[in-house]
Structure 1
Amino acid sequence: MCYENKSFRAAIILIYSGIDAMAALDIPCGQTVSGRNDFIKWCDRYLKFKSMEKITGTELYAARCGIIHTYSSESDFLKRENCRQIGYMDRSAMDVIYKPDIDETLVMVSVEALINAFFSAINEFLIEALSNSGRSRSLKKG
């Protein structure tokens, strides 16, 4: 709904919040809270774009920190990790655009592609989690 109403920043914030929630569902038994590493691990495992150019969980976490904490694409985590900054674009023929000859520190992601990748990631995660009886029990407790 945010995307359809061209509230792109709101859509992006909700997606990153959703990833936080999915990563929390994926924590090992006995771990009580999720954190940065869980978010990164979940993204690396499940969030895939239809693109040759890969975006890492670390880059997505840096983008998450930027949009949630500074309402921008920059964050302290981005600077510390020295990873590519994620910029956002509306619908595009390519999900991800990276042109290192122009700027090797920036990668552009279609908001629509981010939404699609997130929903596909949820599907893959839930199918995997619910087919694993140990994980299925931990999901049902929440």
Structure 2
Amino acid sequence: MQMTTQELIEKFCMNTLSATGMLYREKLYGQMLVLLYSSIDSMGLLDAPPTQASASGESFKNWVKKNLLTYPGLEYNEVDLWAARCAVLHTFTSESDLSKGGKAREVQYYSGPKDSPMAQAFVAATKAIDNGKHVPAHIEATYLAFLEALKVFPQDLLNNCGKDPAYEARLKKVLQQFAL
């Protein structure tokens, strides 16, 4: 039985929520970031102009700017997060070619209560390293921002699919279900 467009979108979002939630609860933050960044790649492509056939840095950054950075309290920008995505996915570190080249700040992740003395010291130290070449990223706030974006994105995508069948055709290629 073939799923409707709405069902495909909902299934993708629910599976993403389930998988990232499991990793988050187990405090497997590095692995959660891999999945979070990969999901943003996919959603960025799905939100890009319908003629775009593959995910790109621009589609990732545009999606982040539109959907994630609206969440209050995040200190990084879309370029920093693209560089962080490249670092995590390619080397599982915080250093990327963009951060090495001075084109993005290196994202330093931390977890726990933001108002704790240790967190505040970490944030201050991170900002002071190399004269501002690093930016702190609270894992919990980043994940909550992602969850908020997952609430809004499905309707935007469904609206795009209703306006232009090319969105829907691409969606059906990208969000394939792998059932046996």
TM-score of the two chains, using structure 2 as the length reference: 0.68
| Max Rg structure | 2
1 or 2 for the larger relative contact order (CA 8 Å, sep ≥6)? 2
Amino acid aligned to 2:153: F
Distance 1:25 1:102, change over 3 A: same
**Contact 2:46 2:157 survives alignment (8 Å):** no
RMSD over aligned CA atoms reads: 2.5
Q: C-alpha displacement at 1:13, in angstroms?
A: 0.9
Asked if structure 1 preserves the Cα contact closer than 8 Å seen for 2:127 and 2:134, the reply is no
Match 1:50 to one of 72, 77, 87: 72
Structure 2 contact 108–134 (Cα < 8 Å) conserved: yes
Which structure has the highest helix share of the two?
2
| 2:128 paired residue number | 102
Q: Does the CA-based 8 Å contact 1:129-1:135 persist in structure 2?
A: no
Structure-2 separation of matches of 1:40 and 1:81: 17
Matched, 1:112 2:140: yes
Asked if structure 2 preserves the Cα contact closer than 8 Å seen for 1:98 and 1:106, the reply is no
User: CA separation of 1:73/1:90 partners in 2, compared to 1, >3 Å: closer, same or farther?
Assistant: same
Seen in structure 2, the aligned counterparts of structure 1 residues 101 and 10 have a Cα distance that, compared at 3 Å, is closer
1:129 aligns with 2:157: yes
SS of the counterpart of 2:128?
A: coil
In structure 2, relative to structure 1, the CA distance for the partners of 1:33 and 1:89 (3 Å cut) is: same
- Is the contact made by 2:96 and 2:106 (CA closer than 8 Å) also made in structure 1? no
TM-score of the superposed pair, with normalisation by structure 1: 0.84
Question: 1:72: Cα distance to partner?
Answer: 0.2
Question: Which 5+ residue runs of structure 2 have no aligned equivalent?
Answer: 1-21, 116-121, 173-180
| 1:38-75 deviation digits (Å, cap 9, x = unpaired) | 10111111113321x54211110000010111110001
The gaps in structure 1 that reach 5 residues or longer are none
Cα displacement (A) at 1:122: 2.2
Amino acid at match of 2:72: K
Aligned-residue sequence identity (percent) comes to 28
Task: Give the match for residue 64 of structure 1.
Answer: 85
Closer, same or farther: CA 79–46 of 1 in aligned 2, 3 Å: same
Post-superposition shift, 1:106? 1.4
CA distance in 2, matches of 1:101, 1:30: 40
**Change in 2 beyond 3 A, CA 1:85/1:69:** same
User: What secondary structure sits across from 1:68 in the alignment?
Assistant: helix
Q: Is the 8 A contact 2:127 2:136 kept in 1?
A: no
- Secondary structure of 1:86's partner? strand
